[in-house]
Amino acid sequence: MITARSAATRDSWWAELEDMLGRFAGRFSRVEPRRRAAEYVRGLLAPEARKTGSGLASAAGHATADGMHKLLNSSRWDADAVRDDLRGYAVEHLGSSDAVLVLREMSFAKKGTRSVGVQRQPSPATGRTENCQIGIFLTYASARGTTVLDRELFLPRSWADDPDRRAAAAVPAGRTYATRTQLAETMVERALASKVPFAWVTGDENHVRDPGFRQWLEARRIPYLLTTPRPRTAATRLRADNREWVVLARHRSQYPGWERWMLAHHPHSRPEEVSCYLGFCPAGTSLAELIRVAAVRDDVHTRLRAGAGEVGLDDYEVRQYHAWYRHMTLVMAAYSFLAAVADANPM
């Protein structure tokens, strides 16, 4: 039974979806790809639809997936321009000065060697060496909601330095080899340039291992909280104190008015686990604030894993460079819409 309230909510959701799709409709010079992009996003949001090209085509009422494949592979449109439009939409709906930018690496298992960026490499998902692609995502998290703000594909040297593989996957001439932390830095730089409001950057051990990334953040006075390998003393200190959180170190940085912290977390519900964090923040920042940021990071990682199937993050069937970015950009649209309607219609 559809009540008046549920009908009103459905109508408001529909209006919000059309508004969001309208934000980037002008990036398509022709009607057909504009319509296909809208159908693609609606299919990603449809709970009953498979998120492959054929599944999305079926959800839109098409007999074949040709149109969806053309949208990703050969239609003329700028995925980066759409990403910028979606960034503005996300900030409008979720923006907050205490928001957290969460960097997250995700691996996508692939067969063969022809899909762009695929090789046997350590998988962030399993820790094992597997045949996969690796994507780096910049997620925006505030009290109003969470969405993906940016995305980059890691291009290993085996791809970046191979002219034949680059040509086969249509890798742009200007795309050279970059480490995963350099790609992360690029995305944070874009957020800064776009004046995205945020208070913290968080990331994984891969980011803390790169001193250049930490130095880049510190030089710009950007507070961060990064997971770090566990010091041997952490478990001993936590057991001795019988507390979930312990400050292992706290001292002034080279920048006046700023401090560095090292924290350890030992959940009472999971006594075998100990997580450690390296932080950089203004002097006087409370332990409670750092704990809040750590919780946001963990929540975002959980949401991304859970949402991957919900909006088809890892269900793509593409091989070319620009097609990967187009799929991920339209997934970002689905994420942003869900966050916007959740903020407008709290439980």
What tens digit of pLDDT does each residue of 235-263 get?
556 555 667 898 989 999 999 999 999 99
Does any domain span residue 306?
no
Identify whether the C-beta of residue 21 lies closer than 8 Å to the C-beta of residue 38. yes
pLDDT tens for each residue of 283-309 = 999 999 999 999 999 888 887 777 777
What is the DSSP secondary-structure string of 250-263? EEE-SSTTEEEEEE
Q: For the chain, what is the domain count?
A: 1
Question: Could you give the CA distance from residue 137 to residue 171 in angstroms, rounded to a whole number?
Answer: 19
- Give the pLDDT of residue 229: 78
For 112-146, give one letter per residue: b (16+ CB within 10 A) or e.
eeebbbbbebebbbeeeeebbbbbbbbbbbbebbb
Residue 35: burial class (beta carbons within 10 Å; 0-12, 13-18, 19+): middle
Question: What is the structure's pLDDT at 230?
Answer: 67
Q: What is the pLDDT of residue 297?
A: 92
> What is the CA 341 to chain-centroid distance, rounded?
19
Is 234 inside a domain boundary? no
**296, 302, 16, 22: which is closest to 144 by C-alpha?**
296
Is 64 part of a structural domain of the chain? yes
**Residue pLDDT, tens place only, 192-229:** 999 999 999 999 888 878 889 999 999 999 999 999 87
Whether 154 maps to a domain, the answer reads no
3-state secondary structure (DSSP) of residue 118: coil
**Which residues of the chain carry a pLDDT beneath 70?**
1-9, 48-49, 230-242, 271-272, 343-347
Q: Are 184 and 136 in contact (CB under 8 A)?
A: yes
Q: How far apart are CA 319 and CA 115, in angstroms?
A: 4
Handedness of CA 266, 270, 273, 277 (dihedral sign): negative
pLDDT at 238: 57
Nearest CA among 51, 70, 183, 55 for reference residue 117: 183
Residue range(s) defining the domain that contains residue 331: 1-94+316-347
Query: What's the N-to-C CA distance of the chain in angstroms?
Result: 19
Instruction: Please indicate, yes or no, if residue 18 is contained in any of the structural domains.
Output: yes
Asked whether residue 120 is assigned to any structural domain, the reply reads no
Residue 42 in any domain: the answer is: yes
Q: If you search the block for the tokens 């869900």, which residue do you land on?
A: 338
Write the single-letter amino acid at 286: S
Instruction: Report yes or no: 132 and 118 within 8 Å, Cβ to Cβ.
Output: yes
Residue 143 CA to residue 210 CA, distance in Å, equals 30
In a domain, 73, yes or no: yes
For every residue of 214-253, which 3-state class applies, written as one string? HHHHHHCCCCEEEEECCCHHHHHHHHHHCCCEEEEEEEEC
Helix (H, G, I), strand (E, B) or coil at 101: strand
